[in-house]
Amino acid sequence: MRVSIHKHIANPEQFKQQLLVWSQQFREVVFLDSNSYPQEYSSFDCLLAVDAFTSLKTDFENAFDDLKQYQTTTKDWLFGYLSYDLKNTVENLNSSNFDGLDFPDLFFFQPKKIYLLKENQLEIKYLFLCDDEVESDFEEIVQSQSDAYETLGKLNIQQRISKESYVEKITKMLNHIHIGDMYEANFCMEFFAENALINPLEKFQKLNEISQAPFSVFFKNNKQFLLSASPERYLKKVGETVISQPIKGTSKRFSDPVEDEISRQYLENDPKERAENIMITDLVRNDLSHTAQKGSVEVVELCKIYSFLQVHQMISTITSKIDPQYSPSDVLKTTFPMGSMTGAPKISVMKIIENLEETKRGLYSGAVGYFTPDGDFDFNVVIRSILYNQENQYVSFSVGSAITSLSIPEKEYEECLLKAKAMHEVLR
């Protein structure tokens, strides 16, 4: 049971930063920020959950069953993540690539303290066992200030796959497409630094400032961190309605308005980018149909262009009505991993990219989000993100692009570098 208290916040942007600074004292933190990006399906401008009362940490074996039991038993707010390698429990797959980060495959926690901000209205939800701390915590938050950050040393950021090797691998993927093994695949490569000493809060604030993405996340589980500027929603459930918003298609932003509009229109009309998006939209329609009421899957938007600070993106919106026989975790299991990060047909693609990629994806191209007590949920896609294991002193970010029969390997490589730009800038 939780106590619920409402407050009026005069300066929401300032309060968000104070919340984030205050949260750093806790072992478990999930901070979700929409950055006031205009979107139809937003429930909150900002959420903060801290301090685990209970938690679930597991590898991929039976992970979705464990999550289902945890969610139905607690019937409370849960925050956490699904890593890409849960694919190995959904299908008969495996992962043997290098993993420098060593995060659990799945982690969720039931927070003692939650803050939900929408415009000027703040709702505070504390478990009864700590409800006497609400007012003292609130006073502490409004007095929080960022400390002066120390420079912790220069990072030597390396690229796991060279340009030559990348072109070679994409050529192999094109061969798979030409002989009919797949139609489209998302191929990813890692950038990393060893002996890395960074201030995660500082890096997240910089990344968030230059990206201002609608699904930004600061995640902390003891010494494991995710700093995400994701523009993409994986899946949201509100009542019986399920919403998926895959991204496929990217073009560069320009400071000159004329150039910028040309870039936007080029993306909107590019046959390759539209083909990518439509293929993934079709895959998502199929995934949602597994748990949907008959005839309820609908494409609400197809290939719509959304503009962010760094890039223009092509996004489609697909909805369905969940069949009452299925649980919230069933919807996640039957759609995971998201089609925008795999390709089509899904199982064949996942096997091929596992062989050609050189790093285990882990939390990258997984999802972070939350469940509400009544079984609603909202999860992002973990892209445009920095991952950091403070204990191993290993920092990593990965980028990818969709490979189709029309792909030119050198152009795909350039798209990856464009997507890596913000993370490079922050870590430098």
Output the pLDDT for position 92: 86
Within 13 Å, how many C-alpha atoms sit on residue 120's CB side?
4
Angstrom distance (rounded) from CA 351 to CA 95: 9
Question: In whole numbers, what is the pLDDT of the chain averaged over residues?
Answer: 95
When pLDDT is averaged across residues 198-214 and rounded to a whole number, the result is 95
Q: Is 236 a catalytic site residue?
A: no
Q: What are phi and psi of 376, to 5 degrees?
A: -75, 160
- Give percent helix, percent strand, percent coil of the chain, each to the nearest 5: 35, 35, 30
In this model, does residue 147 exceed pLDDT 90?
Answer: no
Instruction: Using pLDDT thresholds of 50, 70 and 90, give the confidence band for residue 150.
Output: low
In this model, does residue 151 exceed pLDDT 60?
Answer: no
Output the pLDDT for position 299: 98
Output the pLDDT for position 146: 77
Q: Which of 184, 232, 357, 412 is catalytic?
A: 232
Instruction: Using pLDDT thresholds of 50, 70 and 90, give the confidence band for residue 153.
Output: confident
Exposed/middle/buried for 193, CB within 10 Å: 0-12, 13-18, 19+?
buried
Q: Is 169 a catalytic site residue?
A: no
* pTM for this predicted structure: 0.95
Query: Among the listed ranges 9-13, 93-97, 353-357, 408-412, which one has the minimum average pLDDT value?
Result: 93-97
Angstrom distance (rounded) from CA 101 to CA 105: 11
Output the pLDDT for position 38: 86
Share of the chain above pLDDT 70, in %: 99
Q: How many domains does the chain have?
A: 1
Output the pLDDT for position 383: 95
Instruction: Assess contact for 243 and 41: CB atoms under 8 A.
Output: yes
Share of the chain above pLDDT 90, in %: 91
Reported as a single tens digit per residue, the pLDDT across 50-67 is 999 999 999 999 999 999
In this model, does residue 194 exceed pLDDT 60?
Answer: yes
Query: Among the listed ranges 115-119, 149-153, 258-262, 412-416, which one has the minimum average pLDDT value?
Result: 149-153
Instruction: Using pLDDT thresholds of 50, 70 and 90, give the confidence band for residue 152.
Output: low
Instruction: Assess contact for 377 and 387: CB atoms under 8 A.
Output: no
User: What DSSP designation does 209 have?
Assistant: H
Please give the helix or strand (H or E) that residue 190 lies within, else none: strand 184-193
In this structure, the strands spanning 28-33 and 121-127 are unpaired
Instruction: Using pLDDT thresholds of 50, 70 and 90, give the confidence band for residue 307.
Output: very high
Domain extent at residue 150: 2-427
Cβ neighbours of 218 (radius 10 Å) = 25
Reported as a single tens digit per residue, the pLDDT across 26-38 is 999 999 999 999 8
Encoding tokens for residue 276?
A: 């990518």
In this model, does residue 228 exceed pLDDT 70?
Answer: yes
**Helices and strands in the chain: count of H runs, count of E runs:** 11, 20
CATH number at residue 46: 3.60.120.10
Reported as a single tens digit per residue, the pLDDT across 321-331 is 999 999 999 99
When pLDDT is averaged across residues 361-387 and rounded to a whole number, the result is 97
1 vs 390, which has greater pLDDT? 390
Output the pLDDT for position 310: 85
Q: Which of 206, 248, 321, 346 is catalytic?
A: 248
Report CA Rg, the chain: 21
